[in-house]
Amino acid sequence: MDMGPHATFIWTAYGLSATVVSALILRAMLDERRQRRALARLEAQGIRRRSDVAQERRG
Amino acid sequence: MLSFATLANPSFFMRLTDRVLPWLAGVWILLLAAGLYMSFFVAPADYQQGETVRIMFIHVPFAWLAMFCYMIIAVSSIGSLIWRHPLADVSAKAAAPIGAAFTLLALVTGSLWGKPMWGAYWVWDARLTSVLVLFFLYLGLIALWESIEDPSRAGRAAAILAIVGVVNIPIIKFSVDWWNTLHQPASVMRAGGPTIHPTILWPLLVMAVAFSLMFLWLHLKAMRAEILRRRVETMMMTRVSSAVALKAAE
């Protein structure tokens, strides 16, 4: 693929965009996983949210 | 029929997005692949810009989304301030880092296009400067959320800044009409229709839809993580208060 005399500018623009977008995707996936693990750890310790307790009481 | 209260419920939101997100990811990945193929193998070199026109296929969607994301934050902020909607606050907070990243990419890709076309990476023209102000607004919002410990106070302060800052959006949009800028005027969303040839317009539109759906996916994922983070924080507080109550009883 010949991008002509300005190939460096074109590939740099696409390269930087791919890097930042990949970082955004990775951050989104890892953050949710991290919070899920923290939540599971707390639940395993028997700690529950007041809304969950109230919901159980309502049946 | 789903009521507003049901839709506003974070637990319902988690269940709904659990089902929607994999499909959404599939659609934006396919569209992005098609858009990249069209950008490099279907679209011809522009008669003036040459091959650098290919930078436009990413620069323009980033610039549109930079503004669109800010509007989402502003609308969410209104929902958060007026109706105290829990998801509105979550939405505003989750969107800010994504908007900042897209604004940065719009600035950087525009700069990389500007050097070969204008002969300069940066000029202090109204469009470029107002987009730089948008980037600083995003940084300000992120700083507010990160620096104020009480989440409800942080949310209120950020919501006020977001609503005040929305004045910058029409300035960005109409800067090319109001002032004599080096940046070209609107060529897609304008009265009288687009001025771009279809061979370049179609790849641009496919890329714009792909990036918009990717943004939606990123935003929903970030909202889910934020909801979970708040649940974790609530449970940590419950643990601390239980421990204090236990100690007092001894």
Percent of chain B with pLDDT over 70: 96
Residue B26: inside a domain:
yes
**Tokens 């969303």 belong to which residue?**
B189
Domain of B128, CATH number, reads 1.20.120
Distance of residue B192 Cα from the nearest chain A Cα, in angstroms: 31
Q: Which of B52, B225, B234 sits opposite A32 (nearest CB)?
A: B225
Task: Give the residue from B217, B95, B247 showing the smallest Cα distance to B162.
Answer: B95
d(Cα B46, Cα B182) in Å, to the nearest integer?
19
Contact A39 B40 (CB under 8 A): no
pLDDT: is A37 or B177 the higher one?
A37
Using a CB-CB distance cutoff of 8 angstroms, which residues of chain B are in contact with residue A32?
221, 224-225, 228
What's the rounded mean pLDDT across residues A5-9?
A: 90
Using a CB-CB distance cutoff of 8 angstroms, which residues of chain A are in contact with residue B222?
28, 31
d(Cα B17, Cα B27) in Å, to the nearest integer?
15
Q: Are B40 and B54 in contact (CB under 8 A)?
A: yes
Residue B219: inside a domain:
yes
Buried b / exposed e across A1-14, counting CB within 10 Å, b at 16+? eebeebeebbeebb
Distance of residue A34 Cα from the nearest chain B Cα, in angstroms: 8
Q: Does B173 touch chain A (CB under 8 A)?
A: no
- For chain A, the first-to-last Cα distance in angstroms comes to 65
Domain that includes residue B92, residue range: 20-179+195-249
* Residue of B55, B62, B103, B211 for testing the chain A interface, max A β-carbons within 10 Å: B55
Domains identified in chain B, total number:
1
Residue B171: inside a domain:
yes
Contact A16 B228 (CB under 8 A): no
Residue B5: inside a domain:
no
Mean pLDDT, chain B, whole residue set: 90
Residue B230: inside a domain:
yes
Note the pLDDT of residue B135. 98
Residue B15: inside a domain:
no
Cα separation values, A52 from A4, A58, B186, B187, Å: 62, 10, 52, 53
Using a CB-CB distance cutoff of 8 angstroms, which residues of chain A are in contact with residue B97?
24, 27
Residue B12: inside a domain:
no
* pLDDT tens, residue by residue, B7-24: 678 889 999 999 999 999
Residue A8 predicted with pLDDT over 60:
yes
Q: Does B59 touch chain A (CB under 8 A)?
A: yes
* pLDDT tens, residue by residue, B53-101: 999 999 999 999 999 999 999 999 999 999 888 899 999 999 999 999 9
Residue B189: inside a domain:
no
A13 Cα distance to chain centroid: 24
